[in-house]
Amino acid sequence: MCGIFGIVGSKRKELGRTLLKGIKRLEYRGYDSVGMAALDKGKIKVKKAAGAVDKADKKLNFSELKGHIGITHSRWSTHGGVTDFNAHPHQSCDKNITIVHNGIIENYEEIKSDLIKKGHKFRSETDSEVIAHYFEEKIKQKPIKQACVDFLKEIEGTFAVLMMKNDEEKIYALKRDSPLVLGICEEYNILGSDIYAFSDRTDKAVFFDNDEFAVIEKDKYQFYDTKGKKITKKIQTFVWEQEESLKEKYPHFMIKEIMEEPRVVKRLLMSLKTDQKDNFNKFIDMIIKAEKVIFAASGTSYHAALLGVYYFHRCSDVCGIEAQALIASEFEHFANVDSNTLVIAVSQSGETMDVIEALKFAKKRKAKIASMVNVPYSSIQRMSDISLQVLAGQEICVAATKSFVNQVTLLLSIAKEFGFKINLDTLSERIEEMLAKKDEIKKIAKKIYKNKDLYVLGRGLSYPVAREVALKIKEISYIHAEGMMGGELKHGTIALIEKGTPVISLISNKDYDMLSNTKEVEARGAKIIKVTNEFDGDIKINTSNDGKFGVLAAIFGQLLTYYMALELNLPVDKPRNLAKSVTVK
Ligand code: G6P
């Protein structure tokens, strides 16, 4: 959460525009407020305001900022409300130090009260502001590099920090747990929360590891370890499909990304036979060698993982792969991990802090780590023993759609290797057919979008899908939705069913139990929307395969959500309070 971006060596008149472009590319990480600082002729100018980038830009005209060095930040609030004052950058009392920060300074209260005693005046309610005052105080006694060493020692919590000083043409960058990467360009250097920040400018990057800091200048840079000793870092060359970040003819990224699903599925399946073949085989080998598999994931990725468990258990008629899926933030409380366990992280961003923490816990217990990530070179990928790419391409809408479809396709491909029966070659075609039902789905959306509550029921493979459909509806349409096991409803929640309550029922094949659960709510007046490949229904899914049903029913939910949000006139791509990459616990 929070996007940070900085440049050293910009053309003077282009600085504001470059910062604006950079932060827009990271806005999916949070859009509560935005701010910029530009160093021009020995003076730092700061502009910041609450609101998303376009709104703040209209008010402040960021493009007019000039200089060769600048930093910028888009915020997802943790400490302190969504206000102009709490927006980054933050400055020291003497305005000599200016910082942007992504992460949480856990011991900020302690540090703050100490600094207040020394006479510092704070202007915001954030934890981040202490960083500026901390350095102001430190550099009274020692060189700034030594202060960086102290910072790594004394600060508890997570951070990616970019810092400017009035009198230096440099950016100081420090990192622990929050993502930070340096992009190397010919005439300047760029820093960003991830490679999206600068993938239109360079394909060369240096990834910060934990507890490192670096001093970045126009044409050189130097990394340091916790003791302040110089370290040499590897420059990575990355490949990224640029055209995917453009909205093209679609009104929203969400619908553009849903419509890309047939294509990205094909691309993934092809890569598993070509570029990713070796890795795929090694991945399979690691599953064979493990006594059990535990998935760690959050949000939509957790639902993909839960589907994975279902498919893994059904790889053969006798006994499938021993697998379990845990929500990453609860991993350490519920996982029984040892050196014979393979922990598989599933993550679109590859940066979700809860997943990273789960992996750290698993590593300590000597488990092997595998991952499936969409954003290449992400932290989760880099901390894995083996990693497969989801290859959905850049996903900009905060709600995951095409990345979910490709995560599930990847899990199905693995399950197939172990005997799960599915012909994946026709999956892309089936998705096209599902997308062609968009007008039917739009009609359903128009019928139910005014409801305050709705329920989505599933059983077996359709249970994780029911949860995913409900999550999409909550995130994007702001309608309270519960995704439930059909069989569990009668143990309490059925009390909430009233005349007209919409209940979406996902019935794959001859699931008569699911059909009975549907009848039970219908008898109590619920408005049923039946999604089925077997019985009469509102949406007919054209597959008899349970694996494909899971994917197609989820796509139904994505389209339904999109059309409900349109009816409600909601900000589809940037739903309130959410962020795409959640880098806090
Ligand atoms: C956030 C996003 C969700 C996403 C979840 C997990 O909450 O808003 O869309 O499913 O994080 O993210 P990951 O990147 O690990 O898949």
Catalytically annotated residue among 2, 148, 315, 397: 2
CA 350 to ligand 1 center in whole angstroms: 9
Range of the domain at 210: 3-237
Q: How many domains does the chain have?
A: 3
- Do 386 and 286 touch, CB atoms closer than 8 A? yes
Is 428 within the bounds of a domain? Answer: no
Using the atom order of ligand 1, give the atom closest to the CA of residue 403.
16
Q: Which of 2, 349, 353, 381 to mutate to test the pocket of ligand 1 (most atoms within 8 A of CB)?
A: 349
pLDDT score at 314: 85
CA–CA distance, 414 with 418 (Å, rounded to integer): 7
Q: Which two tokens mark 489?
A: 């409803």
CA 578 to ligand 1 center in whole angstroms: 9
Is 427 within the bounds of a domain? Answer: no
C-alpha 495 chain-centroid distance: 35
pLDDT-derived band at 241, boundaries 50, 70, 90 = low
- 186 and 269 share one domain: no
Using the atom order of ligand 1, give the atom closest to the CA of residue 300.
10
Angle of the 261-273 helix axis to the 427-435 helix axis, nearest 10: 170
**Across residues 448-456, what is the average pLDDT?**
95
Is the pLDDT at 424 greater than 70, yes or no?
Answer: yes
**Across residues 223-230, what is the average pLDDT?**
98
CA quadruple 345, 351, 353, 354: dihedral positive or negative? negative
Is the pLDDT at 242 greater than 70, yes or no?
Answer: no
**Across residues 220-234, what is the average pLDDT?**
97
Q: What is the CA radius of gyration of the chain?
A: 25
User: Is 2 noted as a catalytic residue in this protein?
Assistant: yes
Among 33-47, 309-323, 360-374, 554-568, the minimum mean pLDDT is found in: 309-323
pLDDT-derived band at 330, boundaries 50, 70, 90 = very high
- Max Cα distance, the chain (Å): 77
The residue among 237, 255, 275 that closes a domain is 237
CA 346 to ligand 1 center in whole angstroms: 10
CA 503 to ligand 1 center in whole angstroms: 25
Is the pLDDT at 141 greater than 60, yes or no?
Answer: yes
pLDDT score at 572: 93
The residues near 39 (Cβ < 8 Å, ≥ 6 apart) are 67, 68, 69, 70, 164, 166, 169
Is the pLDDT at 317 greater than 80, yes or no?
Answer: no
pLDDT score at 244: 59
Cα–Cα distance list, 188 to 7, 157, 191, 219 (Å): 7, 31, 10, 6
- 117 and 207 share one domain: yes
Is the pLDDT at 366 greater than 90, yes or no?
Answer: yes
Which CATH number characterizes residue 193's domain? Answer: 3.60.20.10
- 56 and 104 share one domain: yes
DSSP, residue by residue, 202-220? -SEEEEPPTTEEEEE-SS-
Closest C-alpha to 394, from 350, 337, 436, 426: 350
- 453 and 390 share one domain: no
CA–CA distance, 469 with 157 (Å, rounded to integer): 34
Is 429 within the bounds of a domain? Answer: no
Question: Which residue in this structure is represented by tokens 């059904």?
Answer: 314
The residue among 211, 237, 263 that closes a domain is 237
Catalytically annotated residue among 47, 48, 368, 580: 580
pLDDT score at 248: 75
Q: Which of 580, 581, 584, 585 to mutate to test the pocket of ligand 1 (most atoms within 8 A of CB)?
A: 580
**Across residues 540-547, what is the average pLDDT?**
93
DSSP, residue by residue, 327-387? EGGGHHHH----TTEEEEEEESSS--HHHHHHHHHHHHTT-EEEEEESSTT-HHHHT-SEE
pLDDT-derived band at 213, boundaries 50, 70, 90 = very high
Is 119 within the bounds of a domain? Answer: yes
CA 351 to ligand 1 center in whole angstroms: 9
Judged on CB neighbours under 10 Å (0-12, 13-18, 19+), 538 is middle
Q: Is the peptide bond before 89 cis (omega within 30 degrees of 0)?
A: yes
CA 294 to ligand 1 center in whole angstroms: 18
Is the pLDDT at 579 greater than 90, yes or no?
Answer: no
Is the pLDDT at 245 greater than 80, yes or no?
Answer: no
pLDDT score at 540: 95
Is the pLDDT at 42 greater than 80, yes or no?
Answer: yes
The residue among 206, 237, 268 that closes a domain is 237
pLDDT, averaged across the chain: 94
- 133 and 196 share one domain: yes
Is the pLDDT at 165 greater than 70, yes or no?
Answer: yes
Q: Whose CA is nearest to atom 3 of ligand 1?
A: 299
pLDDT one-digit tens code per residue, 456-514: 999 999 999 999 999 999 999 999 999 999 989 889 888 899 999 999 999 999 999 99
Is the pLDDT at 454 greater than 80, yes or no?
Answer: yes
Q: Which two tokens mark 96?
A: 């000599």
Q: Which two tokens mark 521?
A: 């709510």
Is the pLDDT at 318 greater than 80, yes or no?
Answer: no
Grouping H, G, I as helix, E, B as strand and the rest as coil, residue 475 is helix
Q: Whose CA is nearest to atom 1 of ligand 1?
A: 580
pLDDT one-digit tens code per residue, 43-85: 999 999 999 999 999 999 999 999 999 999 999 888 889 999 9
User: DSSP label at 447?
Assistant: H
pLDDT score at 247: 75
CA 579 to ligand 1 center in whole angstroms: 8
Is 430 within the bounds of a domain? Answer: no
Exposure string for 427-457, b = 16+ CB within 10 A, e = fewer:
bbebbeebbebbeebbebbeebbebeebbbb
pLDDT score at 578: 85
- 161 and 52 share one domain: yes
- 139 and 288 share one domain: no
Q: Which of 196, 384, 410, 582 to mutate to test the pocket of ligand 1 (most atoms within 8 A of CB)?
A: 582
Q: Which of 31, 352, 406, 410 to mutate to test the pocket of ligand 1 (most atoms within 8 A of CB)?
A: 352
**CB half-sphere exposure, 134, CA atoms < 13 A:** 26
CA–CA distance, 78 with 80 (Å, rounded to integer): 6
- 147 and 12 share one domain: yes
Which CATH number characterizes residue 358's domain? Answer: 3.40.50.10490
- 153 and 192 share one domain: yes
- For the whole model, what pTM was predicted? 0.84
Residues of the chain with pLDDT > 90, as a percent, come to 86
- 391 and 337 share one domain: yes
Residues with CB under 6 A from ligand 1: 298-301, 347-349, 352, 355, 398-400, 578, 580, 582
